[in-house]
């Protein structure tokens, strides 16, 4: 008999106590070769910032590889707690493309988990890098209504400086994934 999976519970309002010590939002040093800055805000259904949230990212390296097939010290993992204005930011490298098991090539993207007080389980989303041609061919984006697709694509404010907000609810609700 399989063991019963442990249910998810909220991180609660005091998540910082436990989760700040190993928070590292810089997968590479800011300003280093190829460093990409991604920032945004975590917002609730009323458009208010979520100041007690946390985003974790996981992504392939620039060659499309995941641990343990990456070269150390690439963990592909980053964690950022939101600030009083709901802001988060990461410094990383552009991920390489990853294929689905079907063989279809996906556009480069970052896997994201969102935690917060008030969320009994994390919400899972993706951040795609801007790039018209690749995005048009992405098999996951192709399954999403055009109107909601934009919630998954980061906006290039400047070279190597991307912006994407996460809306937990409301008119601009981000597309979230199950598994």
Partner 1 sequence: MDHDEAGRPGGAGARGATDRADLAPGAARHLLGDKTALGEVDPRTIDPPYDAPGYRSSTRRSPRHPLLVLPPSVAERAGPLLGEGRVGPLDHDLTRQHPGEPIGERIVVEGRLSDGDGRPIAGQLIELWQANAAGRYAHHVDDHRAPLDPNFSGTGRCVTGPDGRYRFVTIRPGEYPWGNHHNAWRPAHLHFSVFGRAFVDRLVTQMYFPGDPLFAYDPIFNSVNDPIARQAMVAAFDLRLTEPAFALGYRFDIVVGGPRPTPLEDER
From the list partner 1, Fe ion, none, pick the one residue 160 interacts with, judged by a Cβ distance below 5 to 8 Å according to partner type.
Answer: none
Write down how long the chain is. 179
Q: Which of 123, 150, 156, 160 binds partner 1 (CB under 8 A)?
A: 123
CA distance 145 to 30: 35
> Among 134, 122, 151, 74, which residue's Cα sits nearest to residue 98?
134
Q: Residue 72 contacts by C-beta under 8 Å, 6 or more apart in sequence?
A: none
Hey, what are 45's tokens? 């259904």
19 binds partner 1 (CB under 8 A): yes
Q: How many residues touch Fe ion (CB under 5 A)?
A: 1
9 binds partner 1 (CB under 8 A): yes
Binding site for partner 1 (CB under 8 A): 1-19, 21-22, 44-46, 48, 50, 52, 56, 58, 60, 66-68, 75-77, 98-102, 104, 106, 111, 113, 115-124, 139-140, 143-144, 148, 168-169, 173-179
């Amino acid at each position: 008999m399989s063991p019963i999976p442990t249910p998810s519970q909220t991180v609660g309002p005091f998540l910082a106590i436990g989760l700040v010590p190993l928070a590292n939002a810089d997968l590479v040093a800011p300003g280093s070769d190829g460093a990409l800055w991604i920032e945004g805000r975590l917002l609730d259904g009323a458009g208010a910032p979520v100041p007690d949230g946390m985003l974790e990212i996981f992504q392939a390296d620039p060659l499309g590889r995941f641990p343990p097939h990456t070269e150390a010290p690439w963990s592909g993992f980053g964690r950022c707690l939101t600030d009083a204005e709901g802001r988060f930011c990461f410094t990383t490298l552009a991920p390489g493309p990853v294929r689905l098991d079907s063989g279809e090539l996906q556009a480069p993207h970052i896997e994201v988990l969102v935690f917060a007080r008030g969320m009994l389980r994390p919400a899972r989303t993706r951040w795609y890098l801007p790039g018209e041609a690749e995005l048009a061919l992405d098999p996951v984006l192709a399954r999403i209504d055009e109107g909601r697709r934009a919630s998954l694509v980061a906006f290039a404010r400047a070279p190597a400086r991307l912006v994407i907000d996460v809306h937990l609810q409301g008119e601009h609700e981000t597309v979230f994934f199950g598994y």
